[in-house]
């Protein structure tokens, strides 16, 4: 199996099947990251298409300094943030892991389900209100499970800067969530 770098270099040399392999490998990742920002399947699909058009059009300028996945993450994050700026409406990111209740639990605990739904929405809004760089760091760390090193490369910053962004995000979220946590 070819490495990502070789696939991209082959595509830059005119091998369309190499681009198709890149699309197959990274389409789900791009779609998931975009969706976490815009919370709209249609917009996420548009962003995904834009990202792959950018990759297609930028093949000649690709320099294998970092992993191809890092380059694709960076393009995806940038396009997602640009889409949010264009529509001037920040939507919440998905926090599927918070307040998750199985279908069978919903039947037995409808009041708790409503409570969890409210909590999830409150947390979504809190995360969505973070400054973009903090929000990006949280998405890449918490939901994409990337290392500090990978996040630093994607965000074009240092590892200590990533740590600082995540610490500030954590502090901001504590403040934003404290009213609902202390009320319980």
Per-residue pLDDT of the chain (184 residues; tens, 9 = 90+): 678 989 999 998 999 999 999 999 999 999 999 988 888 899 999 999 999 999 999 988 888 887 899 999 999 999 998 888 776 543 333 333 333 333 433 343 344 444 456 667 777 778 778 898 999 998 899 888 899 999 999 999 999 999 999 999 999 988 887 776 655 5
- How far is residue 78's CA from residue 133's CA, in Å, rounded to a whole number? 11
Domain annotation covers residue 101 = no
- How far is residue 137's CA from residue 154's CA, in Å, rounded to a whole number? 10
Q: Cα separations (Å) of 11 from 25, 33, 59, 114, 168?
A: 14, 24, 7, 50, 40
What's the domain range around 59? 1-91
> pTM here?
0.66
Examine the domain organization and report whether 65 and 131 are in the same domain.
no
- How many structural domains is the chain composed of? 2
Examine the domain organization and report whether 6 and 66 are in the same domain.
yes
């Amino acid at each position: 199996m070819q490495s990502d770098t070789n696939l991209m270099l082959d595509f830059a040399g005119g091998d369309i099947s190499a681009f198709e392999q890149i699309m197959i490998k990274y389409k789900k990742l791009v779609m998931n990251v975009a969706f976490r920002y815009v919370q709209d399947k249609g917009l996420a699909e548009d962003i995904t298409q834009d990202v792959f058009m950018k990759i297609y059009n930028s093949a000649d300028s690709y320099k294998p300094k970092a992993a191809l996945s890092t380059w694709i993450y960076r393009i995806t994050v940038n396009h997602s943030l640009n889409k949010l700026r264009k529509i001037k409406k920040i939507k919440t990111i998905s926090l599927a892991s918070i307040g998750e209740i199985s279908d069978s639990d919903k039947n037995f605990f409808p009041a708790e389900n409503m409570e969890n739904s409210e909590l999830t929405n409150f947390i979504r809004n809190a995360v969505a209100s973070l400054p973009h760089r903090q929000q990006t760091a949280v998405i890449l760390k918490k939901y994409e499970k990337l290392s500090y090193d990978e996040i630093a490369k994607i965000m074009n910053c240092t590892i200590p800067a990533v740590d600082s962004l995540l610490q500030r995000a954590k502090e901001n979220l504590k403040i934003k969530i404290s009213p609902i946590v202390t009320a319980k």
